[in-house]
Amino acid sequence: MKDITITKEPVELYKILKFEGLADSGGEAKAMIDARMVMVNGMVETRKRNKIVSGDVIEVGGHQFKIIFTPQS
């Protein structure tokens, strides 16, 4: 499982997919969510703007990513 660090929370799911390179664009990220290819905390997620916070686990293509919140200094 790989960690993804965010500096503010919550963050919309599709933005995490885009900024972490799991999707090439926001549109592709939204399409992946529509196609039921993304899981959050073990459940298929269909809400593109689902608010992701520290401790959530995102799964895409069989790979898991744990969200870690680290505030900016």
The predicted model gives 43-52 an average pLDDT of 95
Q: What is the pLDDT of residues 18-33, one digit of tens each?
A: 999 999 999 999 999 9
The predicted model gives 50-63 an average pLDDT of 96
Residue 45: pLDDT over 90:
yes
pTM (2 d.p.): 0.91
Cα dihedral 16, 21, 25, 30, rounded to 10, equals -50
**Cα–Cα dist 26/20, whole Å:** 11
The per-residue pLDDT of the chain, averaged, comes to 95
State how far the alpha carbon of 10 is from the alpha carbons of 35, 46, 53, 61, 62, in Å. 23, 17, 5, 23, 24
- So what's the pLDDT on residue 72? 82
Report domain 2-69's class: alpha beta
Tell me how long the chain is.
73
User: At 30, which amino acid appears?
Assistant: K
Query: Domain residues of the chain, as ranges?
Result: 2-69
